[in-house]
Amino acid sequence: MTVIAKTADAAPAGAREYLTFRLDQEEYGIDILKVQEIRGYEPPTRIANAPDFIKGVVNLRGTIVPIVDMRLKFHCAQADYNSFTVVIILNLRSRVVGIVVDSVSDVMGLTPDSIHPAPDVDSAIDNGCILGLGSVGERMLILLDIEKLMASADMGLAAANE
C-alpha cells in the first residue's frame, strides 16, 4: 500500500498538483487533493445488476468502497490486470470511491498557463468532466474533474454539487 503525501514542496507558484495515471495509451490527471491512497488491485466483491464498469465493492478499514474500472467506463480495450494495476482511492466530499487504472506515474504541478481547453469532440467522457489538457514538455494529460465524473447520472457515486 502506498500513501500519497500531499505536499506542495516542488510545485511552482499558482500551480495545482495532479496525480497522473495511465489507461491504455492515454495519460490522465486528477486533483491530488481528491486522492486518499493508492492500493494494489484486489478483486472486489461483485454486486448483482451493477453496471459493467462497477467491479464491485471492497471493505476498506470498515468503509464499503465501490470500485470503478475506468477502462470499462471509458470504453477502452479490455486489459489484463497485472502487477502495475492499481486502485486509486478517492475522497469525494463525503463519499469514498476507488478507481482501477493501468498504472500511476507521478504527481505533476501544472500552472494555469499550461492547461489548455479540451477540444469539443464526442468521446466516452462527458466534456463537462474534462478540466482541460495539461502539457509539460512532450507530455499531454487529460485533466479530469473526477468529482463531477463520479456524480454524473450514469455513475451516481458522489453527491452532486452541494
Residue 2 lies in a domain: no
Residue 11 lies in a domain: no
Rounded distance between C-alpha atoms, residue 34 and residue 92, angstroms: 6
Over residues 151-161, the mean pLDDT reads: 68
Q: What pLDDT does residue 145 have?
A: 93
| Number of other residues whose CB lies within 10 A of the CB of residue 104 | 17
Q: What is the pTM of this model?
A: 0.84
Burial class from Cβ neighbours inside 10 Å (0-12, 13-18, 19+) for residue 88 reads buried
Over residues 7-32, the mean pLDDT reads: 82
* Residue 84 DSSP label: T
In the chain, the number of structural domains is 1
CATH code at 105? Answer: 2.40.50.180
Whether residue 52 has pLDDT greater than 50: yes
Residue 5 lies in a domain: no
Over residues 80-87, the mean pLDDT reads: 92
Indicate the pLDDT class of residue 35, thresholds 50, 70 and 90: very high
Residue 49 lies in a domain: yes
Residue 10 lies in a domain: no
Q: What DSSP assignment string belongs to 34-77?
A: GEEEEEE--PPBP-TT--TTEEEEEEETTEEEEEEEHHHHTTPP
Contact 69, 124 (CB under 8 A): no
Residue 27 lies in a domain: yes
Q: What pLDDT does residue 160 have?
A: 54
Range of the domain at 92: 16-117+124-151
Percent share of the chain, pLDDT over 90: 57
Whether residue 128 has pLDDT greater than 50: yes
Residue 42 lies in a domain: yes
Smallest CA-to-CA distance from 20 within 31, 28, 11, 8 is with 28
Average pLDDT, the chain: 85
Rounded distance between C-alpha atoms, residue 140 and residue 63, angstroms: 35
State whether residue 130 is helix, strand or coil. strand
